[in-house]
Structure 1
Amino acid sequence: MDQPNPTVSIVLATLNGAPFLKEQLASILEQDHTAWDVILSDDGSHDATLQIAKSMLDQTRLKILEGPKRGLAQNFWNGLKHEPREQFAAFFDQDDVWHSDKLARAVSHLSDIKGPALYTAGRIVAHCDKRPQYVQTRRSVSAFSSLLFRNPVAGNTCVLNPDAVKILQRFAPPPDVPFHDWWAALFLKGVGAEFIHDSTPTLRYRQHANNVIGARNGHLHRVLNGTYFCWIQSNIDGLSHIQDQLTPSARRVLRVCLPSRAGLRLGQRQKTDGTC
Structure 2
Amino acid sequence: MTAVCPPVSIVLATLNGARFLRAQLQSICDQSHENWRVILSDDGSSDASLAIARDCLARDRLHLLRGPQQGIALNFWRGLSHVPKGHFAAFCDQDDVWCKDKLERALAHLGKDEGPALYSAGRFVTDAGLNVTHRQLRAPVKGFARTFLRNPVAGHTCVLSPAAVDLLKRAPPTRDVPFHDWWAALILSRAGARFVHDTAPVLYYRQHERNVLGAAGGRAKAVLNGTYFRWLCANASALHVASPRALD
TM bin, normalised by shorter chain, reads: over 0.9
Query: Please, which runs of 5 or more residues in structure 2 have no aligned partner?
Result: none
Shift in alpha-carbon separation, 1:178–1:14, aligned structure 2, 3 A: same
Q: How much has 1:98 moved relative to structure 2?
A: 0.3
Q: Which amino acid aligns with 2:234?
A: S
Bigger Rg, structure 1 or 2: 1
Whether the aligned pair in 2 keeps the contact of 1:223 and 1:229 (CA below 8 Å) is yes
Separation of aligned partners in 2, 1:221 and 1:110: 35
Whether the aligned pair in 2 keeps the contact of 1:177 and 1:231 (CA below 8 Å) is yes
Aligned counterpart, 1:115: 115
Whether the aligned pair in 2 keeps the contact of 1:191 and 1:245 (CA below 8 Å) is no
Matches within 5 A, 1:153-172: 153-172=153-172
Q: Which is further off, 104-113 or 138-147?
A: 104-113
Whether the aligned pair in 1 keeps the contact of 2:170 and 2:246 (CA below 8 Å) is no
Runs of 4+ in 1 over 4 A off after TM superposition: none
**So what's the TM-score if we normalise by structure 1?**
0.87
Given the alignment of the two structures, is residue 86 of structure 1 paired with residue 86 of structure 2, yes or no?
yes
CA RMSD of aligned residues (A): 1.2
Whether the aligned pair in 2 keeps the contact of 1:33 and 1:101 (CA below 8 Å) is yes
Q: Which is further off, 100-109 or 238-247?
A: 238-247
Given the alignment of the two structures, is residue 231 of structure 1 paired with residue 231 of structure 2, yes or no?
yes
Separation of aligned partners in 2, 1:42 and 1:114: 31
Q: Deviations over 1:206-253 (max 9, x none)?
A: 000000000112322211111000001111111112343578xxxxxx
Query: Please, which runs of 5 or more residues in structure 1 have no aligned partner?
Result: 248-276
Aligned counterpart, 1:197: 197
Matches within 5 A, 1:86-165: 86-165=86-165
Q: Which amino acid aligns with 1:24?
A: Q
Separation of aligned partners in 2, 1:236 and 1:166: 22
Aligned counterpart, 1:54: 54
Whether the aligned pair in 2 keeps the contact of 1:190 and 1:246 (CA below 8 Å) is no
Whether the aligned pair in 1 keeps the contact of 2:144 and 2:186 (CA below 8 Å) is yes
Q: Which amino acid aligns with 1:196?
A: V
Separation of aligned partners in 2, 1:218 and 1:104: 31
SS of structure 2 residue aligned to 1:241: helix
Given the alignment of the two structures, is residue 16 of structure 1 paired with residue 16 of structure 2, yes or no?
yes
Separation of aligned partners in 2, 1:149 and 1:44: 32
Aligned counterpart, 1:216: 216
Separation of aligned partners in 1, 2:97 and 2:152: 20
Identity %: 54
Q: How many residues of Structure 1 are paired with residues of Structure 2 in the alignment?
A: 245
SS of structure 2 residue aligned to 1:148: helix
